[in-house]
Structure 1
Amino acid sequence: MAFENFLSKLKSKASELKTEALKYKNKDFLNAAMAGSALVAMADGSVSAEEKQKMVKFIESNDAMSVFTTSDVIKAFQDFVGQIEFDKDIGEAKAYAALHKMKSNEGAARLLVRMVIAIASSDGNFDVSEQAVAKRIIKELGLTPAEFELT
């Protein structure tokens, strides 16, 4: 029942996310969103073909991400994943640097976190390693995990 409630809540927020995302339709926001998504996707050390397919499907069907072209979103995501795969420390540093650009904009930062959590949950599983990365992203953006029901 809790999972069904979670999915219902996720769907009800979709149109709200799109409206908010339109306010931040720019390259820095796109890069930050995909940097966060890549960090969460790589939480277990790799992104499987299945995870990539789920990510693409989520991007194509998610109202909030529809403010960007699918090819731009996929390219940005693949760039961050590729950097993390090539050199974990440098790739993660670049991803967190992209996220950091949104720290001064609280509205954009909150939207980013909600989007990253939605993307991480798109496969129906928001596991402990993904939650740990999400918490780090939240803190990087100057927010608190409890605001997003992560403790």
Structure 2
Amino acid sequence: MGFDTFLSRLKSKASELKTEALKYKNKDFLNAAMAGCALVAMADGSVSAEEKQKMTKFIESNDALSVFTTSDVIKAFQEYVGQLEFDKHIGEAKAFQALHKMKSNEGAARLLVRMVIAVASSDGNFDASEQAVASKIVKELGLNPSEFELT
């Protein structure tokens, strides 16, 4: 094996490690985002197809989350929805636990809130129950609800 081949393989392995590191670095964000989306989507008692599609498209188009496959996104979302359907109080506790991990990262927290609001309004109706949940999420993240036109 020549030096060029060795160097090429080394660069390839470094790239793979970077990709893996990004996955772990953003896993908490993915979980928090899916927890927030599940909370807002379930605020009116059901999850619409529009809400699911909007959430999936947002994740796929976001550079920070592009390291996750659509199946990872759907799996995390369904897990939080399932927990909320099984036991609302325990599901909410687990979702807010995931959200709380983003409190110290203001940029990630703001992105998360924008995403949650986009998903909530994707069905054309950002109703009072969804707004109340979004406001609770904003407060959990240590942000001001009025910045997002929430009370």
TM interval, short-chain normalised: 0.7 to 0.9
Quote the offset at 1:56 in angstroms: 3.4
Q: In the alignment, what sits opposite 2:123? A: 123
Instruction: Determine helix, strand or coil for the equivalent of 1:26.
Output: helix
Cα distance in 1 for residues equivalent to 2:88 and 2:56: 27
Quote the offset at 1:121 in angstroms: 1.0
CA contact (8 A) 2:56 2:73 kept: no
Which blocks of at least 5 consecutive residues in structure 2 are unaligned? Answer: 1-21
Cα distance in 1 for residues equivalent to 2:25 and 2:120: 21
Cα distance in 1 for residues equivalent to 2:25 and 2:52: 19
Runs of 4+ in 1 over 4 A off after TM superposition: none
Q: In the alignment, what sits opposite 2:72? A: 72
Which blocks of at least 5 consecutive residues in structure 1 are unaligned? Answer: 1-21
Instruction: Determine helix, strand or coil for the equivalent of 1:46.
Output: coil
Cα distance in 1 for residues equivalent to 2:45 and 2:53: 21
CA contact (8 A) 1:36 1:99 kept: yes
**1:57 is matched by which residue type in structure 2?**
Q
**2:81 is matched by which residue type in structure 1?**
V
Aligned length: 125
Q: Which has the larger radius of gyration?
A: 2
Computed over aligned residues only, the root mean square deviation of the Cα atoms, in angstroms, reads 1.9
**1:89 is matched by which residue type in structure 2?**
H
Query: Structure 1 length as normaliser, TM-score?
Result: 0.76
Query: Structure 2 length as normaliser, TM-score?
Result: 0.76
CA contact (8 A) 1:59 1:70 kept: no
CA contact (8 A) 2:43 2:129 kept: yes
